[in-house]
Structure 1
Amino acid sequence: MAEIKHKAATPQSSQEFDLQGSVHKAEDFYHKNKNVINIALLAVVVIVGGFFAYNRFIKAPNEKKAQEMIFHAQEAFAADSFRLALNGDGNNYGYLQVIDRYGGTKVGNLAKYSAGVCYVKLGEYQKGIDMLKSFSADDKLVQAYAYGLTGDAYMELNKMDEGIGFYKKAGHYSDNELTAPLYLFRAGLALEKAGKPQEAITIYKEIREKYPQTNEGREMDKYLARLGEVRD
């Protein structure tokens, strides 16, 4: 009798068993927790949908309304009518009304900067400081100006340490040849006034080394010589 050979069954690999086991475990987990999972997924949909709805139906219209509302305040500001720009005239809105209604918009945030400038120009320095501190900008140049103006206001209030701090903050916030040497120079002058010549020398040397082509940079040898620092 011919020998009958039986082909051995090829066992499934352990990887296939593991995969099947994982699938079954995942199914079991879902069935046991499907209510929680479905609620979580629904929450994500609601949050994402709410975000887009907020941007489209609330944020965008508010930006437009704020832009329309600020128009006359900007005109008054350009004409140096700072009190009118702040408060409006009864018929047209000022920055303060824009901030009150739409302070959370980009236009409202910019109104805080402009209102801070108005207060400082009107000699209401603490109000200017408070308003400028509530402002924040993605634009580093504008933010540097806000810090620098805050320093000016503190100096007007004879709060020299705070003024110097904000001048340094403005000078170091954006490495450019417009605001950086300007506010570092003011910091140096304020340090001299505060009786801190060595700190002023450090600032003046920084200006001379980093911004030699600016008006401030070209003047630094003179200011350093006045403090006894002469080039070799």
Structure 2
Amino acid sequence: MEPTERAATGGTDDRTESIFEWLHANSRLFGIATAVVAAVALGGWLYTRAQAGKELRAEQDLQRAQASMVQGNTPLAQTDLEKLVSTRGGTSGAAQGAMLLAQLHYQAGEYQKGIDVLEKSGAARKEFEAPVEALIGDGFSQLGKYAEAAAHYRKAADATRFKADRGNYLADAARNLTAAKDTAAARQIWQDIAKDETSPLAAEAKVRIGELTARPETKS
């Protein structure tokens, strides 16, 4: 073997030996790192499985409460929904249960109780944010707190992904602003709605604009 080849081979051997020595010296570190990665993966899997189980149980509880409502057993349905909301918080089933429970309170004229359920239960998960904000708006409107209702309808409009729902929520906001005597803000919303000739609310918007224009302007 030529000197150059031996030198090259010797260099490769030295580097290989150096790598093996480093790996041997740090084998404990690698073992710990591997164990940590495995533990994180296992923990993530266990959490996902536990969350899936929680969602399933919440869905079952929700179906049970809905069955009671269909059968006309409102007291039992309300009891089931209260339990669902209090014990399955953070699940889709609990969020839907909170909306149903709020509606039961509204039907009984207990508007503040319904609002409290929605605000305290964490029902406004992203996928339910728009209908929850709209329901809160309904409650405030029934209480005669029109400015607060309008604010929540606007939040619902901002949260929804659907054009038709957005228009309906904005119209609700405008109606409540009119009731709150904030004619300037109400007219602005109707004007925005009227710009879309394809909107089913365009005709109403033009009528409301005419009505509000005839009134003295208040607030802004």
Pairwise TM-score range, normalised by the shorter structure? 0.7 to 0.9
- Deviation readout 1:7-42 (Å, 9 max, x if unpaired): 994897xxx99xx59x958964x6666545533431
- Of 64, 72, 77, which aligns to 2:64? 72
Q: Which has the larger radius of gyration?
A: 1
Deviation at 1:209, TM superposition (A): 1.7
Give the match for residue 199 of structure 1: 185
Structure 1 segments unaligned to the other structure (5+ residues): 1-6, 88-93
Kindly provide the amino acid, as one letter, of the partner of residue 168 in structure 2.
L
| Equivalent pair of 1:85/1:118 in contact (CA under 8 Å) | no
Give the match for residue 123 of structure 2: 135
- Of 68, 76, 81, which aligns to 1:84? 76
* 1:46 aligned onto 2:29: no
Cα distance in structure 2, aligned partners of 1:62 and 1:203: 42
Matched positions, count: 206
Structure 2 segments unaligned to the other structure (5+ residues): 215-220
Cα distance in structure 2, aligned partners of 1:26 and 1:77: 70
How large is the RMSD of aligned CA atoms in angstroms? 3.2
| TM-score calculated relative to the size of structure 2 | 0.75
The 3 A distance-change label for structure 1 pair 49 and 200 is: same
Cα distance in structure 1, aligned partners of 2:58 and 2:36: 32
* 1:145 aligned onto 2:137: no
- Deviation readout 1:21-67 (Å, 9 max, x if unpaired): 9x958964x666654553343122112112213333x3333333333
Cα distance in structure 1, aligned partners of 2:77 and 2:55: 19
The 3 A distance-change label for structure 1 pair 127 and 44 is: farther
From the two aligned structures, give the one with the greater helix fraction.
2
Matched-pair identity in %? 23
Cα distance in structure 2, aligned partners of 1:201 and 1:137: 31
Give the match for residue 204 of structure 2: 219
The 3 A distance-change label for structure 1 pair 195 and 106 is: closer
SS at match of 2:164: coil
The 3 A distance-change label for structure 1 pair 198 and 148 is: same
